[in-house]
Amino acid sequence: MIQKIDHIGIAVKSIDEAMKIYTEILGLKVTGIETVEEQKVKTAFIPIGESEIELLESTSPDGPIAKFIEKRGEGIQHIALRVDNIEAKLKELKEKGIRLIDESPRLGAGGAKIAFIHPKDTKGVLIELCER
Ligand code: ZN
């Protein structure tokens, strides 16, 4: 079951720079900064009500976030939906013929299990499934 929008991922060149918009201007708080080496990304989480904003900065010029910014500039990169059983949801999508970037879940920031659905099957929106 899909429970809520867990977070919205925003690709930025610099977390330190981008953070100021959310903290100094919007008055929100950053609760955690974490590097996920496997995905070549540094993340900062900013809770807003039941959801969060996830700022994403590449740790390497060949990482997926660096490539995204190169192609499309800074901005919204993905939307993450919280599910209660990620394996079951992936299986269900696969059976419906939806292309998956991750056939099985991998470890994301904050110890979450995550998997991405291919944007070619979601009208250009990169959707992350996430189980915590
Ligand atoms: Zn995410």
Residue-range domains of the chain with CATH: 2-131 (3.10.180.10)
Please tell me the distance between residue 95's alpha carbon and the centre of ligand 1 in angstroms: 24
* Pairwise CA distance, residues 81 & 51, whole Å: 10
Q: What pLDDT does residue 17 have? A: 97
Please tell me the distance between residue 129's alpha carbon and the centre of ligand 1 in angstroms: 8
Pairing of strands 127-131, 75-83: parallel
Dihedral of CA 118/30/33/19: which sign?
A: positive
Report the DSSP beta bridge partners of residue 8: 53, 79
Pairing of strands 113-117, 127-131: antiparallel
Q: CB within 5 A of ion ligand 1: which residues?
A: 9, 54, 80, 128
Q: Whole-structure pTM over 0.85, yes or no?
A: yes
Q: What pLDDT does residue 35 have? A: 94
Please tell me the distance between residue 116's alpha carbon and the centre of ligand 1 in angstroms: 9
Please tell me the distance between residue 107's alpha carbon and the centre of ligand 1 in angstroms: 11
Q: What pLDDT does residue 38 have? A: 85
Strand segments, DSSP code E, in 12-126 are: 32-36, 41-48, 51-58, 75-83, 106-107, 113-117
What are the pLDDT tens digits along the chain (132 aa)?
Answer: 999 999 999 999 999 999 999 999 999 999 999 999 888 999 999 999 999 999 999 999 999 999 999 999 999 999 999 999 999 999 999 999 999 999 999 998 888 999 999 999 999 999 999 999
